[in-house]
């Protein structure tokens, strides 16, 4: 067994970077924190839960309302990416590119834990993280 395959668990994609149990725990916690943040962000951006002061502010600035709508759309997209990454972890396929199936770099996952594509496929296809 070589160093690259040592410690690889069942369900780890061929060629996947060696992610230690500690790496996966850190990544999972980061994703969970992002999920909580995005859910709270969406809750705050939702009209009915807004405070009266925030309602007045929104009435004064229709441009701000447009920004809030775009923020909410962005938050929903990131939340979907985060939840998909957690599902890939649960399925044991986390860390493989969704296009070429090559392993994503450990460094990339540490920066963007919800990444679905390797840097090469992302550049080639103009896809999201």
Domain boundaries, the chain: 21-96
| Predicted local confidence at residue 50, as pLDDT | 53
CA dihedral 104, 110, 115, 116 (to 10 degrees): 30
Q: What is the pLDDT along the chain (129 residues), one digit of tens a residue?
A: 333 333 344 444 444 456 888 999 999 999 999 999 999 999 988 865 456 666 666 566 677 778 888 999 999 999 999 999 999 999 988 999 989 989 999 999 999 999 999 989 988 875 556
Q: Chain centroid to CA 90: how far?
A: 14
| Predicted local distance difference test score (pLDDT) of residue 65 | 79
Residues with Cβ within 8 Å of residue 119, at least 6 apart in sequence: 105, 108
- Nearest one of 86, 88, 85, 58 to 71, comparing CA atoms: 58
Res 29: pLDDT: 96
Please, what is the Cα angle at 26 between 24 and 32, to 5 degrees?
A: 100
């Amino acid at each position: 067994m070589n160093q690259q395959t040592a410690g690889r668990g069942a369900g780890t994609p061929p060629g996947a970077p060696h992610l230690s149990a500690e790496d996966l725990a850190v990544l999972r916690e980061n994703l969970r924190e992002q999920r909580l943040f995005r859910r709270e962000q969406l809750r705050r951006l939702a009209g009915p839960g807004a405070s009266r002061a925030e309602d007045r502010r929104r009435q004064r600035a229709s441009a701000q309302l447009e920004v809030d709508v775009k923020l909410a759309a962005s938050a929903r997209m990131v939340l979907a990416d985060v939840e998909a990454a957690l599902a890939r972890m649960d399925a044991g396929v986390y860390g493989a590119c969704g296009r070429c199936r090559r392993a994503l770099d450990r460094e990339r996952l540490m920066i963007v834990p919800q990444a679905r594509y390797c840097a090469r496929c992302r550049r080639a296809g103009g896809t999201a993280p």
